[in-house]
């Protein structure tokens, strides 16, 4: 996903569930790419 007006920058979008797998994924992406363009998506289901 490209950010509007960002040129070649890429947004790293992660579906955040609060579980260990989404936590580990977010940690890995942050370590490899930084958090500047990282987005965590959370959808609560009630």
Q: What percent of the chain has pLDDT above 90?
A: 52
Q: For the segment 14-34, what is each residue's pLDDT rounded down to a tens digit?
A: 998 878 999 999 999 999 999
CA distance 44 to 32: 28
Q: Mapping DSSP to helix (H, G, I), strand (E, B) and coil, where does residue 24 land?
A: helix
The pTM of the full predicted model, rounded to 2 decimals, is 0.70
Phi then psi for 34, rounded to 5 degrees?
85, 175
Q: Which pLDDT does position 39 carry in this prediction?
A: 93
For residues 20 and 23, give the distance between their C-alpha atoms in angstroms, rounded to a whole number.
5
**Residue 44 pLDDT grade (very low, low, confident, very high; cuts 50, 70, 90):** confident
pLDDT above 60 for 1: no
Residue 46 pLDDT more than 80? no
């Amino acid at each position: 996903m490209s950010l509007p007006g960002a040129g070649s920058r890429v947004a790293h979008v992660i579906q955040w569930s609060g579980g260990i797998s989404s936590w580990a994924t977010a940690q890995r992406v942050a370590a490899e790419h930084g958090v500047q363009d990282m987005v965590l998506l959370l959808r609560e289901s009630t």
